[in-house]
Amino acid sequence: MQVRAIGIVKEFGAAAAALAGVDLDVRSGELMALLGPSGSGKTTLLRVIAGLEAPDRGRILFGDEDATTIPVRKRGVGFVFQHYALFRHMSVFENIAFGLKVRGRERPSRDEIRSRVTRLLALVQLEEYGQRRPSQLSGGQRQRIALARALAVEPRVLLLDEPFGALDARVRRDLRRSLREIHDATGQTTIFVTHDQDEALELADRVTILNGGRIEQTGTPDEVHDTPSSAFVMSFVGESTSLPVRILDGTVRFRDRVLGVPGEGGRDGPAALYLRPWDVAFTDSDTALAGTVAMVRRAAGGRRAEVKLDGPGQEVVEVGIPVGRSVARGETVRLEIRGGRIFAGRP
């Protein structure tokens, strides 16, 4: 089911709008991540899509149907929240079956409910756990059951709000992988909220980045990482440091030095050059930028050196350390800037 949000505005009292005009287009069968810092409007957008919150302006479309005023119970959405309490007094089986049993006239037969719950238990790899109580499960297992319960009613769209947020790193990684596998098996249109960029980039078909109630960019994980459309996206997704530069006649200048980075049609004047760790390299050239290694640290993708540049600004850039290169704190190094992205304004 395609889900669209068109011109959504939502304000709570006098504060800045939680959503300040949001357009989102989630394709049928897609796994879309909503990524942004705390307070950027992710939960509010998810609640508006669910029908738990009415927008002040704008529309929600499910396929071609205007769903804006359809109440939550009739909208056909499944939810999983960070703390989505299972019913403690019910077995795992009964928890998953609950949404089907309360359906009134549309309630499936006993046999149909039994076979559907059994299939869902297999899907979340907890076949043997149907008769347990939620209190007998780990946190990760409980979230799998919450997922099975959300899927039981065959929702038109599955909405997940930081579902793994309360779990430890190892369990999160496992659940991330299971969610992707379950999504691939069911083809369920899914919108997934997270503030964790690794989770979003690893899991999602596309990522929408929110900032202050507005969408900064929507794209595949590669697109938002490799061609960020704003300085915010560049710094929020992936590692980066920035330097204050000046654009003059299409060249990029740092202090008096012309860098080997294209000005990308930027206007003459001050700008910010954002660098990924591999946009900067160590060099032997005596005339290159000089600096001192302030710190060496290990990151997911290898080692990083934090280098404080000599000179008045004492700017800091982060450099990817090639395998086999030894770098010590306090060492004087020379740097070559080989790439990076220019954005208007100062860093």
Ligand X SMILES: Nc1ncnc2c1ncn2[C@@H]1O[C@H](COP(=O)(O)OP(=O)(O)O)[C@@H](O)[C@H]1O
Interacting residues toward ligand X by CB under 6 A: 12, 18, 36, 38-44
**Residue 211 touches which of ligand X, Mg ion, none (Cβ within 5-8 Å per kind):** none
Q: How far is the CB of 2 from ligand X (least distance, A)?
A: 23
| Residue 213 or 238 with smaller CB distance to ligand X | 213
Closest approach of ligand X to the CB of residue 298, in Å:
30
Amino acid in position 138 = S
Which is nearer to ligand X, 49 or 247 (by Cβ)? 49
Binding-site member from 4, 33, 43, 86 for Mg ion (CB under 5 A): 43
Q: Are 60 and 8 in contact (CB under 8 A)?
A: yes
| Cβ proximity to ligand X, 43 vs 242, nearer residue | 43
Dist. CA 190–CA 26, nearest whole Å: 8
The minimum distance between CB 40 and ligand X, in angstroms, equals: 4
Considering the complex, what minimum distance in angstroms separates the CB of residue 56 from ligand X?
A: 13
Helix, strand, coil proportions of the chain in percent (round to 5)? 30, 35, 35
Alpha-carbon Rg for the chain in angstroms: 25
Task: Pick the piece of the chain touching Mg ion (CB under 5 A) from 40-48, 122-130, 137-145, 243-251.
Answer: 40-48
Measured CA to CA, the distance from residue 76 to residue 156 in angstroms comes to 5
User: Would you say 165 or 266 has its CB closer to ligand X?
Assistant: 165
- CB-CB contact of 293 with 328 (8 Å): yes
Counting contacts by CB under 5 A, is residue 40 touching Mg ion?
Answer: no
Q: Which CB atom, from 36 or from 163, has the smaller least distance to ligand X?
A: 36
Distance CA 305, CA 281 (A): 10
Structure tokens at 328: 């010590």
Say which entry of Mg ion, ligand X, none residue 40 contacts (CB below 5 to 8 A, set by partner kind).
Answer: ligand X
Q: Give me the least distance between CB of 10 and Mg ion, in Å please.
A: 13
The whole-angstrom separation of Cα 68 and Cα 279 is: 46
The binder of 189, among ligand X, Mg ion, none, by C-beta within 5 to 8 A per type, is none
Residue with tokens 């793994």: 164
CB of 159 to Mg ion, least distance (A): 12
Are 166 and 7 in contact, with CB atoms under 8 Å apart?
no
DSSP assignment of 3-25: EEEEEEEE--TTSSPSEEEEEEE
In the complex with ligand X, which residue's Cβ is closer, 36 or 277? Answer: 36
> Which residues would be at the binding site for Mg ion (CB under 5 A)?
43
